[in-house]
């Protein structure tokens, strides 16, 4: 009889310990869960600067067409910030980025050359490390998924713009939770700037 009671007691203890383990693990996962899965409505997404224009000097060929030089470019650091409705930063928030060129940026003169490139500043040094940090060229139909920095709710990214020719434009789109932000970057000639 003692032997049967000991088996019942051991089985009960194992079930109790097992149940407590599952409960504690559930509690731990809930505590560690970041704001990606449960975000409050009204998530704010902003990009600084809100727009950027490069003024370029074009070199023309015999037909008066701008000559495209692949190695003629400038980099611009953009900072995406995600915050809640009370302007508190949301760290480790899932962030989706998309660099969308305007129709004119698909000009056949460019011979499939990209005007805009999107880089993720993975090491945080503020400069492009090519090609390790390249996440898309203009026209690539992808959403780049990343997340905001843990404590500040920000993400630094870099847009590289070819500055051979004017008249090109792209929009950087940023999505987080139910929030959305956008900024425009373009190239113009000195003559365009005078209008």
Mind listing the pLDDT tens digit for each residue in 181-190? 999 999 999 8
Strand order across the 44-48 sheet: 44-48, 73-83, 154-162, 116-120, 134-137
The per-residue pLDDT for 12 is 53
> Who has greater pLDDT, 143 or 5?
143
Q: How far apart are CA 95 and CA 6, in angstroms?
A: 55
Strand 179-189 vs strand 51-56: parallel, antiparallel, or unpaired? Answer: parallel
Q: Which residue has the tokens 């847009």?
A: 159
| Average pLDDT value for residue range 9-30 | 46
| Average pLDDT value for residue range 143-161 | 93
Residue 125 has pLDDT above 60, yes or no: yes
Of the ranges 46-50, 110-114, 120-124, which one carries the lowest mean pLDDT score?
Answer: 110-114
Of the ranges 58-67, 96-105, 168-177, which one carries the lowest mean pLDDT score?
Answer: 96-105
**Percent over 70 (pLDDT), the chain:** 69
Within a 13 Å sphere around the CA of 149, how many CA atoms are in the beta-carbon half?
Answer: 15
| Average pLDDT value for residue range 78-94 | 95
Q: Tell me the pLDDT tens digit for each residue of 21-63.
A: 444 434 443 334 444 444 557 899 999 999 999 999 999 999 9
The per-residue pLDDT for 124 is 80
Strand 168-176 vs strand 179-189: parallel, antiparallel, or unpaired? Answer: antiparallel
Distinct helix (H) and strand (E) counts, the chain: 2, 10
Q: How far apart are CA 51 and CA 60, in angstroms?
A: 27
Q: Is 137 helix (H, G, I), strand (E, B) or coil?
A: strand
Residue 139 has pLDDT above 80, yes or no: no
Q: How far apart are CA 79 and CA 186, in angstroms?
A: 17
The per-residue pLDDT for 111 is 55
Q: Which residue has the tokens 């194992």?
A: 14
Q: What is the CA radius of gyration of the chain?
A: 26
CA 73 to chain centre: 21
The per-residue pLDDT for 146 is 94
Q: Tell me the residue ranges of DSSP E strands in the chain.
A: 44-48, 51-56, 73-83, 94-101, 116-120, 134-137, 144-147, 154-162, 168-176, 179-189
Phi/psi at 85 (5° precision): -60, -20
């Amino acid at each position: 009889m003692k032997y049967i009671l000991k088996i019942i007691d051991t089985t009960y203890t194992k079930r109790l310990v097992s149940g407590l383990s599952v409960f504690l693990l559930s509690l731990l996962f809930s505590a560690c869960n970041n704001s990606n899965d449960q975000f409050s409505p009204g998530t704010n997404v902003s990009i600084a600067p809100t727009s950027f224009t490069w003024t370029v000097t074009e070199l023309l060929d015999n037909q008066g067409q701008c000559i495209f030089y692949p190695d003629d470019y400038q980099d611009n650091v953009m900072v995406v910030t995600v915050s809640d409705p009370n302007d508190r930063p949301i760290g480790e928030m899932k962030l989706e980025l998309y660099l969308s060129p305007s129709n004119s940026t698909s000009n056949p003169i460019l011979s499939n050359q990209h005007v805009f490139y999107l880089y993720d500043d993975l090491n945080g040094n503020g400069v492009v490390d090519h090609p390790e940090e390249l996440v898309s060229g203009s026209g690539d139909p992808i959403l780049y998924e990343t997340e905001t920095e843990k404590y500040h709710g920000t993400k630094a990214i870099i847009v590289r713009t070819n500055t051979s020719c004017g008249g090109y434009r792209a929009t950087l789109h940023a999505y987080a939770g139910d929030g959305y932000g956008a900024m425009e970057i373009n190239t113009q000639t000195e003559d365009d700037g005078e209008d």
